[in-house]
Chain A
Amino acid sequence: MKLADMAVINGCGDGLAVYGLGSTVAVILYDETTKVGGCLQFMLSGSMSNPQRAREYPGMFADTGIALLVKSCLAAGARRESLTARLAGGADLMEKGPGYRIGEENVTAARKILSGLGITVQAEATGGCVFRTVRLDTTTGRTYLKRHGGGWEELR
């Protein structure tokens, strides 16, 4: 999946994957009852300062992206009350300082928006200064995570 993009899969298929998550965050939604799953890779926490970009690329921001992801999952047959979320990414560079908390702010925004929508975050691998790759198997709903330099492990 590309930057600022999202995808939804209904049932079977190859699943969804996001490679090389740095400060960007992957939001994975899954409905176990209907096997509908979706994934978004957003870059920035809020669209307020850049409404024009948000219209062009709603997946770029946490607020517009998550709203669209939920809507798309429901349109693909997911049930709102069965949707659960997993988060990955939101890392930052080693040294903290002005301008370098984008990852942290992204994770905080995602948690807050999902909580406001009543969607439980079941698992997350966020923060630190490590690159991650994440993959959703839509037939089982299992999510797998790979850290840069490591092997695959289940995210739970």
Chain B
Amino acid sequence: MKMENRFRNSIGRLPAFPATVHRVTALINNSDSSLSELVGVVRLDPAITANILRMCNSAYFGLRHRVDNVHDAIMYLGRQNVVRAVMAAGVSRFFKDAPGYEAEARDLWEHAVGTALMSQLLARKILGREDAGLFTAALLHDIGKIILGEYIHEKREEFSRLLEGGDRSFLEVEDEVLGMNHAALGRTIAAAWNFPLDIQLTIAGHHRPDQLKECENPVPWIVHLADQACLMLGVGKGTDGLAYYGMACALGRFHLSQKDLETVMAEFVKEFENARELVGIVQPSQ
């Protein structure tokens, strides 16, 4: 079977994306929606409900007292944090081992959460605000790996041989060997899950935001920088490693110095510690 058809079949076999996540996002974006409507929608999905309760008691969301029901969770979290919590709870169930990247589900998830948190720290510095859409895009940036990892594992010897020279990025080798890379495949998955076009494009361009048509949009660049910063810190044990073109212009684009990046990295450690419940919703494989 042609590789393209095999990828399409693999995407088709993924479980349906939880409708609750998109319904919550739509309600949050509609200023006329009520708290009780939101609570009603979230309660329809028991797995998301359980994870929201767990997450909203984490230090990351900074609530002053313990919350034990969805109504209070949504009331205290605030609208933007509800999107973050529901998105994380909904997306986490798709993370599985990706042997081609030597990554377990837990590693990929840790990297996804790390990149999402790092993107918010960078957004504060660059845009002067946080951004829930950016959080979602960062959380999903490597989603293509959950499928591509199996195919890379099949061709692992060819990958090792091509990467050995040290002059090709992992993404380039994916294209060369499989005719597809995890960023492009991630975009196809996000489209199949009905994510908006800007999130699809950010996933597609997270390694090369300069190649996107609308490369003025800061979001793909911020995800790109957040991804690199997490790789440098080894968050998620590396996944596709440092065989990654750094795009030195990414920092310059936002007039950031190395010291600025270091300050963000230093802030990240505490943020990541505070979010351990978020990381913990995907357990290590048995």
Contacts and interface: CB of A to CB of B under 8 A. Distances in A.
Interface of A: 3-4, 19-24, 43-44, 49-50, 53, 56-57, 60, 91-103, 128-131, 133, 148-149
List 8 A-B pairs, minimum CB-CB distance, nearest first. A97-B248, A20-B234, A20-B237, A131-B238, A93-B246, A95-B246, A23-B232, A129-B242
Given A22-B231, A49-B263, A130 B242 contact: yes
Contact of B236 (A20, A43, A129): A20
Given A4-B269, A22-B238, A99-B258, A129 B248 contact: no
12 contacts: A4-B269, A22-B232, A22-B233, A44-B266, A53-B267, A57-B269, A92-B246, A94-B245, A95-B247, A99-B256, A102-B261, A129-B244
Contacts, number: 114
A6 to B, nearest CB: 13
A26 to B, nearest CB: 10
Contacts of B261: 99, 102
A45 B258 CA distance: 12
B102 A93 contact: no
Interface in B157-171: 160, 163, 166, 169
B243 interface: yes
B2 interface: no
A3 B269 contact: yes
B246 A100 contact: yes
A20 B248 contact: no
Contact of B234 (A3, A44, A102, A129): A3
A103 to B, nearest CB: 7
Interface of B: 102, 160, 163, 166, 169, 228, 231-238, 241-249, 251-252, 256-259, 261-263, 265-267, 269-270, 272
Contacts of A94: 166, 169, 242-246
B179 to A, nearest CB: 22
A44 B262 contact: yes
B265 A43 contact: yes
Contacts of B242: 22, 91-94, 129-131
A102 B269 CA distance: 16
B248 A148 contact: no
A50 B266 contact: yes
A99 B257 CA distance: 7
Nearest to A129: B242
A50 B231 contact: no
A98 B248 contact: yes
A129 B166 contact: yes
Given A43-B269, A93-B232, A96-B246, 8 more contacts: A3-B233, A43-B265, A44-B265, A49-B259, A93-B242, A94-B242, A100-B246, A130-B242
A93 B266 contact: no
A3 B267 CA distance: 12
Nearest to B244: A93
Contact of A21 (B234, B236, B265, B267): B234
Contacts of B265: 43-44
A91 B169 CA distance: 15
A95 B186 CA distance: 24
B266 A60 contact: yes
B65 to A, nearest CB: 25
B258 A101 contact: yes
B238 to A, nearest CB: 4
